[in-house]
Amino acid sequence: MKVLVPVKRVIDYNVKVRVKADKTGVETSNVKMSMNPFDEISVEEAIRMKESGVVEEIIIVSIGVQQCQETIRTGLAMGADRGIHVKSDEDLEPLAIAKILKHLVEKESPKVVILGKQAIDDDSNQTGQMLAALLGWSQGTFASKIEFNGDKANITREIDSGLENIEVSLPTILTVDLRLNEPRYASLPNIMKAKKKPIDEFTPDELNVDTKPRLETLSVEEPPVRQAGVMVESVTALVEKLKNEARVI
């Protein structure tokens, strides 16, 4: 079985995000970038699937600027087999990403596409669901446990009220949650090997995909500074403040 793993290049989670002076977006120049943490989990899960004999080939896909190849190399160093880079200098929306992935799925014919449930830069949580709709495939989102049984997959999902167990038929789209696994660190020998693994390159035009944006960002603002706390003398005073001064956000 072949598995496709899309990964996104985002601002590193340890970096304090700054808004651009013109308020058109966030500052990315001279900022440390890395693989989206949820995508690291999806890569790790694909590698574990290969180690258990469920998967034969892992393909890492990234869509974006030239530097996305560094993100692909990270996945290859972790243990993936080859990469695909769809180069675009535009900020692509989830629908455009899903359309590109649809073409790659039709080209590569994987049985499973496994994604992080969302990216930490926009928190859209849409690409996996849109891709499943475009392909007409089953989907298992927010997966915290995945087990394969022939042409079926048993998924434990994290939902508001607890855990939900579902069964989906292959081929399927899976999006993963934090508690699924702990991603491994790439060893130095594997990092060196990753430099020799192949990465195919395409553009959205070559895939005949319309990436025209449907949304327009008018302005990006920093959140208001959190106000300092107030010490109270008693529980009674606290209750009174909560009654009279607390605001519903």
- Model pLDDT for residues 170-179, shown as the tens digit of each residue: 999 999 999 9
Percentages helix, strand, coil for the chain, rounded to the nearest 5?
30, 30, 45
- Model pLDDT for residues 68-84, shown as the tens digit of each residue: 999 999 999 999 999 99
Please tell me the total count of domains within the chain.
1
pLDDT exceeds 50 at position 249: no
**What pLDDT, on a 0 to 100 scale, did the predictor assign at position 217?**
85
- Model pLDDT for residues 189-208, shown as the tens digit of each residue: 999 999 999 999 999 999 99
CATH code, 206:
3.40.50.620
Mean of pLDDT values over 99-107: 96
Mean of pLDDT values over 152-173: 93
Mean of pLDDT values over 19-40: 90
For residue 72, the enclosing domain spans 2-245
Mean of pLDDT values over 227-243: 86
